[in-house]
Chains A and B, each alone.
Chain A
Amino acid sequence: MDEPIWLKFIVAFVIMNVLLVGMAYMTYFERKVLAAFQDRMGPTRTGPKGLLQPLADGAKLLGKEDLIPGSADKWVFFFAPLVVFVTAITSVAVIPFGTSFDVAGQTINMTIADLNIGALFVLAISSVGVYGIILGAWASSNRYSLLGGLRAAAQVVSYEIILGLSLVGIFILTGSLNLGDIVAEQSRTLSIGPFEISNWFILSQPLAFVLFLIAAVAETNRAPFDLPEAETELVSGFHTEYSAFRFSFYFLGEYIAMIVMSLFASTLFLGGTDGPGSDSHVLLGILWLLLKTILFLFFYVWLRATLPRFRYDQLMGIAWKVLLPLVLLNIVVTAAVRLAVNS
């Protein structure tokens, strides 16, 4: 934590830009994977294998007319997409992309902000994000938007509880909320009989992993929990009235939130940067983290390609009647096991 502030800025700048490019290519990835699921080609025309498609999309959105409904609350309408975008991109600050390494006499910490409550920070920031959706929905003065906003509020509040509580087991096992500590804990190798396995939390907390995965999909408003923007019911949900680059801020926010959630899940359950060779090579660790993240992103697209959408009441019912008891059970069992092992 003793590196100069300018170095922090450089690291943050690099990571943010990588994330934005990653987001752009996430859309390409999604379109290609979805196309493969659906027996289609996906983008092929822009550049080799359609690789320039994200750039073309961005340029197109920049060139579109920026419409604000006459009856909209202009300041809130202007402000809301930024909330979604900024909160989504902020939470990446606490994700550890590896431990520190030395370059030209400077120690570079691969976590932008090594907070001792990193996990809590991600949860807190992602819950601020929903304000952007609610405010934007309300400011649009459109009934589809309003319904989308109402759905988002109820959905995100419910699933945040699941999301937070599913991590309590990990906190009990690690004894820390620092994401770096959580990764370090998972890097330990356990020997069970003749086998040597990593102490990844997906192995010791499988139920929490599944619950976290479900809640993360709901938290990012993705299929089959994409009710706030259910296009077959609410036209486009909360961003019906948004166009041009205002719309793309929502879009960016949603995709970055997906990437952050995937990074977060890889860090918490799949050992983060942990993998063969990651102890000696920082870059190899980053590669492992990326691979795990892509696995989660693939899972997101897979869900979208396969599952129908839940109905609002069913969504709520699942959160409160099924997931919440399960997540509480997980906490109790984890705590009991921990106590038994300690004593």
Chain B
Amino acid sequence: MPNDKPYQTLSDEQLMRQMATGCEWSFAELYDRYSERMHRYFYRMLGQDAHRADDFTQELFMKLVEKTAYFDPERRFSTWLYAVAGNMVKNEYRRLSRQQVPPAGDDFYGENFTEDFDNQVFAEHLHQALGELDESQRQCFVLRYQEELSMKEIAEIMDCPEGTVKSRMFYTLKKLGSKLRAFAGVL
């Protein structure tokens, strides 16, 4: 039985090479593989704003179309794409920092939660807690536990040693554990 979608068997890097020759199907395959992941990453990194995540996802893939030649075939495509997305997020943070968005108050975590809290509440608190982390800690946490990337891949994306990522991750976990101590029973 012939394979209806031969592009599905190709690696990301092979698809990028095909895409450089103007192959539309290669790009479509790459989009299908990564659009949801990248949208989720933007959504989490940019304050859980779905519309903004849409805009950033579109911009990212536009960049991919326009700057295919910038991709180094020696690198892994996924880490390269996350690195580009990470730079876009950094630029957005820089732009937002000029507008001085007020941080969430600490008293938010002082409440006593009982058995009636649900996932929605936890998600909101997690979002708040992530928002209070610094940029690199947040990126570490999202890449590790949302995107489920290895430490090595995260180090490659963040362009820093693996040991730095590990210690940063451990510190982030402790910090989040402390911030979400109200959920200690459930956590």
Q: A and B from one assembly? A: no
A residues near B (Cβ < 8 Å) are none
Binding site for A on B (CB under 8 A): none
